[in-house]
């Protein structure tokens, strides 16, 4: 097969990533407005809408879009069908809007139809990714974790749809909240965690200019998730003590992942960290409190909706969101540069990736988001609407600056005869 | 570029056209310039020197390769480029040598180097290129393989290095790229520029791409 015949289009992942960034901005702007709701129980229509704007619109859409760039780079396989990926995008966005919208109005029949559309998009993604990696010569650590994540995504979508259907017809055995918690943990531990851990092993090393990690840490992560996630999810759904064994296995995997990150940072040849990498490392800093909170909730040391909501903020807002935002600050400039400037390399002066970015804005976004998320976790834990609103304002400001930083990169795609390459990229010395 | 320059510190991968000069600690640049500066460089008046300082770029983690290549492209035959870098830019010697530029470098401090690039008709590289061209005209020969190792560079630098090198690929040359993965984003650029390429994996984790000009 001629690989060039299946050359990746930068516009495909960019479409996903920029839509995801818009969802992140929308969710962050909604937090101060939902401060009173966030001080109460998490099973509230507007909180469910906010949560799914983050998990579907921001996190899942980013991972799906990034997959269509990272499959060629990390797994060295062309995307099987970009046309299917475009249909998937349309179905996913329509389904996610339907799910979030029907949560807001608490209308379950429409919700089920939206969830069905979303499941169709998920099936398209799983099919596309599976056929892309079909025939892979070496099943690396990253490839195995991606496969694990795709199984987790499929099961999360199925259980989510079944939970919605359960409102219309009684289809699920067991307690409603037990099933809801199982769905949340399937999404977090079965889909997001293995995808991030798998991609990090290859991509963090690439960006840090560090040797790829190896050794027993890989087996701990792989088996920790392969055994720990089913145990945790089943333990939650069946309300059994199995959940503690599962949580310990997942925590071991997370710890091994952290050790790998520290090793890569220490062994890096890159002299200075850019802001994308600092976002990623700031996200990793949330892993430890997330693991401690998760273990405490599993063991019953901590309980109740406030602790659960604080755990959700630390995990989805802190670890996942900062990690994803950092990856976006690495991936989006590359895609824009590739689209706008790669054809000019060797023929004209082109800017570097660094020159496409906005370091001052990225620094401000990181500071605001970090403070906002940490503050929000504490505020929802305390159940104080005033503090939630204050932390939400920081978060919203950070998301706004982040969106502007991305927009400054993306504007390089707009054809403009007046725009030249940044001054520092021109022939210098005269 | 930064990574490549750093990896190249003290272990040149390509033949140098001129020996570099390291000053002893405490020695002044002026002393070195008077004592050792090559005649062809000394003959270029100071007013025809183009100065490019990339030390701050490199310390910030930036990639100055594009700036350097732009400055080289704009360099007139009677000009010299003085490049200020925090370490000796050994990999550049080979790259710019193939563009017919001789080099001479001196250390001002442990983390402050000046490297001059200039045209020298009498340089070994220049005559070798001429000889190779003459030989190629006389009888068709197997293409000369130029190897470029881009492992350990952050994207898109491998692509930039390859395309920059292909821009100056001689008629009788082919480029062998050593990569750590199959560069799926590079292939369309090669096709679009009329190059043909073959990829194989001589050992796990090492990918080799041989690129040559397609038939006109």
pLDDT in tens, B10-48: 333 333 333 344 333 333 333 333 335 777 787 888 888
Cβ–Cβ below 8 Å for B154 and A270: yes
A341, A345, A357, A422, best to mutate vs chain B, most B CBs in 10 Å: A345
Nearest CA in chain A to B60: A272
Cβ–Cβ below 8 Å for B167 and A343: no
Q: Is A303 exposed, middle or buried (0-12, 13-18, 19+ CB in 10 A)?
A: exposed
Nearest CA in chain A to B75: A427
A164-207 confidence digits (pLDDT tens): 888 888 888 878 888 888 999 999 999 999 999 999 998 888 88
Q: Which token pair is B211?
A: 């690129």
Cβ–Cβ below 8 Å for A427 and B73: yes
Closest residue to B188, CB basis, from A7, A424, A430: A7
The edge-to-edge listing of strands for the beta sheet with B195-203 is B144-149, B173-179, B206-213, B195-203
pLDDT at A9: 84
Tokens 């790669």 map to which residue? A342
pLDDT at B66: 78
- What separation, in Å, do the N-terminal and C-terminal C-alpha atoms of chain A show? 48
SS3 for A302? coil
Cβ–Cβ below 8 Å for B61 and A334: no
Contact status, residue B117 vs residue B81, Cβ threshold 8 Å: yes
Cβ-based contacts under 8 A for chains A and B: 113
For the entire predicted model, the pTM comes to 0.73
SS3 for B178? strand
Contact status, residue A290 vs residue A317, Cβ threshold 8 Å: no
pLDDT at A225: 95
Ramachandran angles phi, psi of B178, nearest 5°: -100, 120
pLDDT at B22: 39
Which are the contacts of B79, defined by CB distance < 8 A and separation ≥ 6? B44, B48, B49, B50, B118
Tell me the chain A residues in contact with residue B58 when contact means C-beta distances shorter than 8 Å: 271
d(CA A11, CA A82): 10
Length of chain B: 216
Tell me the chain B residues in contact with residue A206 when contact means C-beta distances shorter than 8 Å: 154-155
Tell me the chain A residues in contact with residue B188 when contact means C-beta distances shorter than 8 Å: 4, 7
Tell me the chain B residues in contact with residue A347 when contact means C-beta distances shorter than 8 Å: 167
pLDDT at B138: 46
Please choose, from the candidates B13, B17, B196, the residue with its C-alpha nearest in 3D space to the C-alpha of residue A2. Answer: B196
Contact status, residue B189 vs residue B199, Cβ threshold 8 Å: no
Ramachandran angles phi, psi of A308, nearest 5°: -65, -40
Closest residue to B3, CB basis, from A209, A352, A428: A209
Which residues on adjacent β-strands are paired with residue B81? B50, B117
Cβ–Cβ below 8 Å for B187 and A4: yes
Distance from CA of A188 to the nearest CA of B (A): 29
Which residues on adjacent β-strands are paired with residue B212? B196
Tokens 């180097």 map to which residue? B113
Contact status, residue A96 vs residue A52, Cβ threshold 8 Å: yes
Closest residue to A8, CB basis, from B7, B51, B185: B185
Residue B1: which pLDDT band, with cuts at 50, 70 and 90? very low
Q: Helix axis angle, A61-74 relative to A193-208, nearest 10°?
A: 50
pLDDT at A168: 82
Q: From the first residue on, what is the mean pLDDT of each consecutive set of 10 residues in chain A (430 residues)?
A: 58 95 97 90 86 95 92 82 95 96 90 93 94 83 93 93 85 84 92 93 86 87 95 89 91 94 88 90 92 86 85 93 95 92 86 88 97 95 93 97 96 69 35
Cβ–Cβ below 8 Å for B152 and A78: no
Q: Which residues of B touch A (CB under 8 A)?
A: 2-3, 6-7, 50-52, 57-64, 66-67, 70-71, 73-74, 81, 152-156, 159-160, 163-164, 166-167, 181-182, 184-185, 187-192, 199, 204
Q: Where do runs of H (alpha helix) occur along chain B?
A: 2-7, 29-36, 39-42, 55-59, 65-73, 90-97, 124-138, 157-167, 187-192
Cβ–Cβ below 8 Å for B73 and A342: no
Q: Which token pair is A302?
A: 């901590």
Distance from CA of B110 to the nearest CA of A (A): 17
pLDDT at B16: 34
B151-177 confidence digits (pLDDT tens): 878 888 899 999 988 988 888 889 999
Compute CA A182 distance to the chain's CA centroid, rounded to the nearest angstrom.
19
Interface predicted TM-score (ipTM): 0.74
**Rg, Å, chain A Cα set:** 21
Q: In Å, how far are A70, A145, A269, A342 from A77, measured between CA atoms?
A: 9, 16, 27, 21
Closest residue to B182, CB basis, from A76, A269, A353: A76
Nearest CA in chain B to A355: B62
Closest residue to A269, CB basis, from B3, B67, B167: B3
Ramachandran angles phi, psi of A384, nearest 5°: -105, 110
Tell me the chain B residues in contact with residue A209 when contact means C-beta distances shorter than 8 Å: 3, 152-154
d(CA B175, CA B128): 18
Please choose, from the candidates A124, A142, A139, the residue with its C-alpha nearest in 3D space to the C-alpha of residue A202. Answer: A142
Contact status, residue A31 vs residue A398, Cβ threshold 8 Å: no
Which residues on adjacent β-strands are paired with residue B103? B117
pLDDT at B12: 32
Which are the contacts of A216, defined by CB distance < 8 A and separation ≥ 6? none
Q: Which residues of A touch B (CB under 8 A)?
A: 3-4, 6-8, 72-74, 76, 78, 138, 206-207, 209, 269-274, 334, 337-338, 342-343, 345-347, 349-355, 424-430
B69-117 confidence digits (pLDDT tens): 888 888 888 889 989 888 777 667 767 877 778 887 776 766 777 888 8
């Amino acid at each position: 097969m001629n690989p060039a015949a299946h050359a990746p289009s930068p516009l495909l992942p960019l479409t996903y990533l920029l839509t995801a960034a818009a969802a992140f901005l929308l969710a962050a702007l909604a937090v101060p407005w939902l401060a009173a709701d966030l001080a109460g129980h998490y099973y509230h229509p507007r909180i469910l809408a906010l949560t799914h704007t983050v998990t579907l619109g921001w996190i899942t859409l980013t991972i799906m879009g990034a997959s269509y760039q990272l499959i060629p780079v990390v797994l060295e396989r062309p995307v099987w069908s970009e046309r299917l990926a475009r249909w998937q995008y349309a179905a996913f966005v329509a389904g996610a809007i339907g799910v979030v919208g029907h949560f807001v109005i608490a209308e379950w029949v429409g919700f089920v139809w939206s969830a069905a559309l979303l499941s169709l998009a998920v099936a398209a993604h799983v099919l596309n990714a599976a056929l892309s990696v079909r025939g892979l010569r070496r099943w690396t650590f990253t490839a195995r974790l991606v496969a694990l994540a795709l199984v987790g995504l499929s099961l999360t979508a199925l259980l989510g749809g079944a939970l919605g259907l359960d409102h219309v017809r009684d289809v699920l055995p067991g307690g409603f909240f037990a099933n809801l918690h199982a769905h949340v943990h399937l999404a977090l531990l079965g889909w997001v965690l293995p995808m991030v851990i798998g991609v990090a092993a290859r991509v963090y090393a690439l960006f840090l200019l560090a040797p790829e990690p190896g050794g027993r840490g890989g087996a701990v992560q792989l088996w920790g998730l392969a055994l720990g996630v089913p145990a945790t999810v089943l333990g939650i759904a069946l309300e059994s003590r199995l959940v503690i064994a599962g949580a310990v296995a997942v925590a071991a995997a997370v710890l091994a992942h952290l050790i790998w990150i520290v090793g890569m940072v220490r062994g890096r040849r890159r002299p200075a960290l850019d802001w994308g990498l600092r976002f990623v490392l700031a996200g990793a800093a949330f892993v430890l409190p997330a693991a401690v909170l998760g273990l405490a909730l599993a063991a019953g040391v901590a309980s109740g909706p406030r602790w659960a909501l604080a755990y959700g903020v630390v995990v989805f807002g802190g670890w996942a969101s900062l990690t994803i935002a950092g990856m976006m600050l690495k991936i989006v400039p590359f895609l824009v540069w590739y689209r706008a400037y790669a054809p000019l390399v060797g023929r004209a002066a082109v800017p570097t990736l660094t020159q496409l970015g906005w370091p001052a804005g990225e620094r401000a976004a990181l500071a605001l988001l970090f403070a906002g998320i940490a503050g929000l976790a504490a505020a929802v834990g305390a159940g104080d609407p005033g503090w939630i609103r204050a932390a939400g304002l920081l978060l919203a400001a950070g998301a706004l600056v982040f969106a502007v930083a991305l927009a400054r990169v993306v504007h390089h795609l707009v054809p403009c005869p007046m725009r030249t390459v940044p001054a520092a990229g021109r022939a210098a010395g005269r | 570029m930064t990574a490549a320059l750093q990896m190249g510190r003290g272990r040149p991968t390509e033949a140098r056209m001129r020996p570099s000069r390291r000053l002893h600690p405490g020695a002044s640049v002026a002393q070195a310039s008077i004592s050792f500066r090559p005649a062809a460089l000394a003959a270029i008046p100071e007013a025809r020197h183009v100065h490019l300082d990339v030390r701050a770029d490199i310390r910030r983690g930036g990639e100055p390769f594009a700036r350097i290549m732009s400055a080289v492209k704009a360099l007139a035959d009677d000009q010299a480029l003085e490049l200020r870098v925090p370490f000796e830019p050994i990999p550049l010697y080979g790259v710019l040598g193939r563009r017919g530029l001789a080099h001479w470098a001196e250390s001002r401090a442990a983390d402050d180097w000046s490297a001059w690039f200039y045209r020298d008709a009498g340089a070994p590289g220049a005559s070798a290129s001429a000889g190779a061209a003459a030989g190629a005209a006389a009888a068709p020969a197997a293409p000369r393989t130029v190897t470029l190792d881009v492992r350990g560079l952050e994207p898109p630098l491998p692509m930039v290095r390859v395309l920059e090198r292909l821009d100056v690929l001689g008629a009788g040359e082919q480029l062998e790229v050593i990569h750590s993965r199959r560069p799926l984003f590079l292939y369309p650029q090669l096709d679009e520029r009329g190059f043909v390429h073959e990829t194989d994996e001589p050992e796990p984790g090492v990918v080799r791409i041989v690129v040559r000009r397609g038939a006109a």
